[in-house]
Amino acid sequence: MCSVAHYVQSVDESKALDRQTMPKVIISASGMATGGRVLHHLKAMAPDPRNTILLTGFQAAGTRGAQLLAGARQLTIHGEPVPVRASVENLHMLSAHADCDEILRWLQHFPERPQRTFVIHGEEHAAGTLAARIRGELQWEVHVPSYGTTAEFDSGERQSAHLLAR
């Protein structure tokens, strides 16, 4: 594929793809369709039932990717309604994030147990599930803080608290 792929570098080149009528595969970086050049591609290609929008991995609630997976027949892009007639598919197995089992395997290899662990990545339910598994399987102290919460460390506490970004 690398020998036939054409890497588009500029915004203008990217927009030009949308004006071409020949079949093509466009691989775009915005996995949840929240911003960037993919929005121009969606505006141009989502209305055509001959096209497929292929999403990869997790689509967070409230994103265009989640709307597409839920069967949205219209998106708002740049303030304009865009009909969705293309088929929509998702490859769940291509997520860039580790799953719960992979995170637990990674944590099991820490040379010592941290004094505190904070799960600050993922949606609230998923973060709570991961925290419960860490508590149950590793017997670690785990917190799932709310957005904007701060944690204080006293000067005598080893700086071994681990953050699993949410």
**Domain positions in the chain:** 11-94, 100-165
> pLDDT of 148-163, one tens digit each?
888 877 665 554 444 5
Give residue 160's pLDDT.
44
Give SS3 for 7.
Answer: coil
Pairing of strands 117-120, 142-143: parallel
Task: Please name the residues in contact with 22: beta carbons below 8 A apart, sequence gap of 6 or more.
Answer: none
Residue 4 in tokens = 């036939």
Give residue 5's pLDDT.
77
Verdict on whether the full-model pTM lies above 0.85: no
Weakly modelled stretches of the chain, pLDDT under 50: 159-162, 165-166
Domain 11-94: give its CATH architecture: 3-Layer(aba) Sandwich (3.40)
